[in-house]
Amino acid sequence: MGKALDDYVLDLAQNRRGYALNRMCGSLKHAENRTRFTTDEAAYCDEYGLSPEQKKAVLERDWIAMSDLGASIFYTFKLATLDQKSMQYLGGVFTGMTAEQFAAKLRSRGRKRG
């Protein structure tokens, strides 16, 4: 995966690599799929053909590994919300901050001081 300014770039190669993972995470928009996933996460991952590395990342909620393995944050966030995690929480994971620190950093951007 290419990186630009410490951001993940979801290029065509990464998109292909993460296709199954993104499909699986995207499927969680449906309540019945969320129920099936929470009943047996490993089996649900297998249904979507995740690679062993992708499956491990999902089961361990290794958000950075998921991105490294081709996941789009827009799809990964569907899994995070299932765990009641906020976008600020994920932002903190990717920046080494707590969710509160990340939210404060976002709020402070662009404000003129004194």
Please state which of the four CATH numbers 1.10.357.10, 1.10.3720.10, 1.10.700.10, 3.50.50.60 is assigned to the domain occupying 3-83: 1.10.700.10
Q: What is the pLDDT of residue 3?
A: 44
Domain boundaries of the chain, sorted by first residue: 3-83, 86-114
Per-residue model confidence as pLDDT tens digits over 2-49: 443 456 666 777 778 899 999 999 999 999 999 999 999 999 999 999
Q: How many angstroms separate the most distant Cα atoms in the chain?
A: 57
| pTM (two decimals) | 0.82
Report the distance separating Cα 16 and Cα 70, nearest Å: 8
Distances (CA, A) of 8 to 4, 11, 73, 77: 7, 9, 9, 15
CB 21 within 8 A of CB 69: yes
pLDDT digits (tens, 9 = 90+) for 101-110: 988 988 887 5
The predicted-structure confidence for 58-106, as pLDDT tens digits, reads as follows 999 999 999 999 999 899 999 999 999 999 999 999 889 999 998 898 8
Say if residues 18 and 25 touch (Cβ distance below 8 Å): no
* pLDDT confidence of residue 94: 87
